[in-house]
A and B are shown apart, each in its own frame.
Chain A
Amino acid sequence: KQEVTQIPAALSVPEGENLVLNCSFTDSAIYNLQWFRQDPGKGLTSLLLIQSSQREQTSGRLNASLDKSSGRSTLYIAASQPGDSATYLCAPLGGNNRLAFGKGNQVVVIP
Chain B
Amino acid sequence: GAGVSQSPSNKVTEKGKDVELRCDPISGHTALYWYRQSLGQGLEFLIYFQGNSAPDKSGLPSDRFSAERTGGSVSTLTIQRTQQEDSAVYLCASSPRGEAETQYFGPGTRLLVL
Contacts and interface: CB of A to CB of B under 8 A. Distances in A.
A15 B63 CA distance: 48
Interface residues of B, number: 27
A97 B42 contact: no
Contacts, number: 60
Number of chain A interface residues as a range:
20 to 34
A43 B102 contact: no
B91 A44 contact: yes
B104 A99 contact: no
B42 A4 contact: yes
A55 interface: no
Contact of B103 (A4, A46, A103, A104): A46
B11 to A, nearest CB: 15
Nearest to A104: B42
B104 A97 contact: no
B30 to A, nearest CB: 11
Nearest to A41: B110
A85 interface: no
Contacts of A100: 45
B38 to A, nearest CB: 11
Contacts of B105: 36, 43-46
Nearest to A32: B100
> Closest 4 A-B residue pairs measured CB to CB?
A31-B100, A96-B56, A101-B43, A44-B105
Given A34-B103, A46-B103, 11 more contacts: A43-B91, A44-B93, A46-B104, A89-B43, A91-B43, A97-B48, A97-B56, A98-B45, A99-B33, A100-B45, A103-B42
Interface of A: 4, 31-32, 34, 36, 42-46, 49, 51-52, 89, 91, 93, 96-104
26 contacts: A31-B100, A32-B100, A34-B102, A42-B107, A43-B4, A43-B106, A44-B93, A45-B105, A46-B102, A46-B103, A49-B101, A49-B102, A51-B100, A89-B43, A96-B55, A97-B31, A97-B33, A97-B95, A97-B99, A98-B56, A99-B43, A99-B103, A100-B45, A101-B35, A101-B43, A103-B41
